[in-house]
């Protein structure tokens, strides 16, 4: 099937063509026709399947008859509302909306928390037909009378399971109560636990049900493997894998912010261009980290699960679970960052003896064994500093004493955050030069002494 077979308007087909897409993905093939007919849709589709275009294209088409070039805000009421759980997902959806709407007169904007509300109020007051929002900030804007939802014709709940996980149910109910009863509802969710099914029953009217991947399955193009490793040697193994396999862009998941910070610091000392991404970072730091990763200035991005959802990282080839997620479903979301849109990807898990149960839980959910790889013979050899550091635009690493300021003391355990950061990513390979041996022993000894003052004993040993 071709995009042109789906009954889409010429201005939308033009935008699709300009993206270089010729064939719709399965979710697009199945969701676009019923959405164009005005039906409710409940779709089980994980990120990477092309689900954003699957709802954005028909949504825009349904609004086309009301598109206007009038300057009057009254002619541009919010007609379609897309709710997303995180800032970065909202920003990505909005980017798709802008891309596909570029040859139409439809206006759109995106609102999320963590940034100034004033420009968002201004944009909304000028009038937009498509509003992409995270729930909390949208309610703030409604309260301040900047967002009027009384003319919404289409509601999209994107990553509905995540919104419920993040505790947005009360906000969603409040928002839905503000919408006209007569409207089209589209719900997209990677998984369908019972609470989502119940919620869908309340919100959707006789929906067309679409499932493009069986529940809790992962993209077929991802290869999974695991290494059994002592927790104290994980960092060496990770460094070895990144170096020996010449990984140029790798997303590494840890389970806590503390662990992400620590690992990023250690890898940086090992000579990798590395940065950490988690919810204790400021909005600016997070955006910078993502932009650097996207531009190839950062080879290794160490992230907590905040980065596991929604990021569209084109062609990201490697995801490494440095620590397994406590919840097996998060494995799917983590590795969903790779193997997207028909590209192959690799998911590697470093499994310590006390994580065996977690691995089994993941295998049970995936209904497959994750092959255990033998450790590389040189797995634990001291990591050579990487030559890319020499050409990096990053400033040289600070002396170790400086790099453990008081404000980097172990932060409290990661709390669920309601919203993350906006970012869209397209991968560009980092220049990854050859190895250059270096002697870091003095600095290392000093850093161990300093680290021992701040960190729990096991961490000092690990170093």
Q: Considering the complex, what minimum distance in angstroms separates the CB of residue 59 from ligand AMP? A: 13
314 binds ligand AMP (CB under 6 A): yes
48 binds ligand AMP (CB under 6 A): yes
Q: Which stretch binds ligand AMP (CB under 6 A): 17-25, 163-171, 349-357, 375-383?
A: 17-25
Q: Which stretch binds ligand AMP (CB under 6 A): 19-27, 364-372, 375-383, 434-442?
A: 19-27
Contacting residue, 6, 11, 24, 67, with ligand AMP by CB under 6 A: 24
Site string for ligand AMP, 340-379 (x = CB under 6 A): xx--------------------------------------
> Which own/partner pairs from 109-115 qualify as long-range (CB within 8 Å, at least 24 positions apart)?
110/422, 111/137, 111/138, 111/141, 111/147, 112/86, 112/87, 112/137, 112/419, 112/422, 113/87, 113/137, 113/140, 113/418, 113/419, 114/87, 114/283, 114/419, 114/421, 115/283
Radius of gyration of the chain (CA): 23
Contacting residue, 35, 42, 43, 52, with ligand AMP by CB under 6 A: 52
* Closest by CA position to 189, among listed 325, 363, 55, 343: 55
Contacting residue, 29, 30, 35, 49, with ligand AMP by CB under 6 A: 49
* Closest by CA position to 191, among listed 220, 221, 162, 170: 162
**Helices (H) then strands (E): counts for the chain:** 17, 18
Task: Using alpha carbons only, give the angle 84, 422, 66 rounded to the nearest 5 degrees.
Answer: 55
Distance linking the first and last C-alpha atoms of the chain? 55
Contacting residue, 47, 61, 146, 321, with ligand AMP by CB under 6 A: 47
Contacting residue, 11, 32, 44, 51, with ligand AMP by CB under 6 A: 51
50 binds ligand AMP (CB under 6 A): yes
Contacting residue, 95, 312, 323, 414, with ligand AMP by CB under 6 A: 312
The alpha carbon dihedral of 405, 410, 412, 414 has a sign of positive
Distances (CA, A) of 90 to 35, 262, 419, 424: 20, 30, 10, 10
Specify the residue for token string 């006789």.
206
# of chain residues touching ligand AMP (CB under 6 A): 16
Between 115 and 427, name the residue whose CB sits nearer to ligand AMP: 427
Between 54 and 133, name the residue whose CB sits nearer to ligand AMP: 54
Q: Considering the complex, what minimum distance in angstroms separates the CB of residue 342 from ligand AMP? A: 6
Q: Which stretch binds ligand AMP (CB under 6 A): 18-26, 149-157, 233-241, 347-355?
A: 18-26
* Closest by CA position to 310, among listed 3, 73, 19, 95: 95
Between 83 and 141, name the residue whose CB sits nearer to ligand AMP: 83
Distances (CA, A) of 322 to 117, 224, 259, 263: 37, 14, 10, 9
Q: Which stretch binds ligand AMP (CB under 6 A): 51-59, 160-168, 172-180, 440-448?
A: 51-59
- Applying the rule CB under 6 A, the residues between 26 and 45 that interact with ligand AMP are 28
Q: Rounded distance, CA 155 to CA 423, Å?
A: 23
Q: What residue ranges bind ligand AMP (CB under 6 A)?
A: 21, 23-25, 28, 47-53, 312, 314, 340-341
């Amino acid at each position: 099937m071709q995009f042109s077979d789906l009954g889409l308007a010429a201005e939308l087909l033009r935008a699709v063509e300009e993206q270089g897409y010729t064939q719709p993905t399965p979710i697009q093939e199945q969701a676009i026709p019923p959405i164009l007919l005005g039906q409710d849709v409940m779709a089980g589709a994980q990120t990477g399947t092309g689900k954003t275009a699957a709802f954005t294209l028909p949504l825009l088409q349904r609004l086309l008859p009301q598109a206007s070039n009038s300057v009057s805000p009254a002619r541009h009421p919010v007609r379609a509302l897309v709710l997303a759980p995180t800032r970065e997902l909202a920003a990505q959806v909005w980017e798709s909306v802008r891309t596909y709407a570029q040859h139409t007169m439809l206006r759109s904007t995106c609102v999320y928390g963590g940034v100034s509300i004033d420009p968002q109020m201004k944009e909304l007051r000028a009038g937009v037909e498509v509003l992409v929002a995270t729930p909390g900030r949208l309610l703030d804007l409604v309260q301040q009378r900047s967002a009027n939802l009384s003319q919404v014709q289409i509601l999209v709940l994107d990553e509905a399971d995540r919104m419920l996980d993040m505790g947005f149910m009360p906000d969603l109910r409040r928002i839905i109560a503000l919408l006209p009863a007569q409207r089209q509802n589209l719900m997209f969710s990677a998984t369908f636990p019972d609470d989502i099914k119940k919620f869908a029953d309340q919100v959707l009217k006789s929906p067309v049900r679409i499932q493009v991947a069986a529940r809790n399955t992962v993209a077929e193009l991802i290869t999974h493997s695991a290494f059994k490793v002592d927790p104290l040697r994980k960092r060496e193994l990770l460094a070895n894998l990144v170096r020996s396999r010449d990984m140029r862009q790798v997303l590494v998941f840890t389970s806590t912010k503390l662990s992400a910070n620590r690992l990023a610091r250690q890898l940086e000392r090992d000579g990798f261009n590395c940065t950490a991404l988690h919810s204790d970072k400021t909005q600016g730091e997070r955006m910078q980290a993502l932009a650097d990763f996207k531009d190839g200035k950062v080879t290794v991005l160490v992230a907590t699960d905040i980065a596991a959802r929604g990021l569209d990282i084109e062609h990201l080839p490697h995801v490494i679970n440095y620590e397994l997620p406590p919840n097996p479903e998060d494995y799917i979301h983590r590795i969903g960052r790779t193997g997207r849109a028909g590209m192959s990807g690799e998911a590697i898990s470093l499994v310590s003896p006390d994580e065996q149960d977690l691995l089994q839980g993941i295998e049970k959910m995936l209904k497959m064994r994750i092959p255990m790889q033998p450790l590389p013979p040189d797995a634990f050899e001291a990591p050579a500093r990487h030559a890319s550091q020499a050409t990096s635009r990053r400033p040289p690493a600070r002396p170790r004493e400086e790099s453990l300021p008081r404000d980097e003391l172990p932060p409290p355990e990661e709390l669920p955050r309601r919203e993350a950061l906006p970012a869209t990513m397209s991968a560009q390979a980092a220049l990854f030069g050859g190895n250059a041996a270096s002697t870091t022993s003095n600095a290392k000894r000093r850093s161990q002494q300093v680290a021992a003052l701040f960190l729990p004993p096991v961490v000092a040993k690990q170093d």
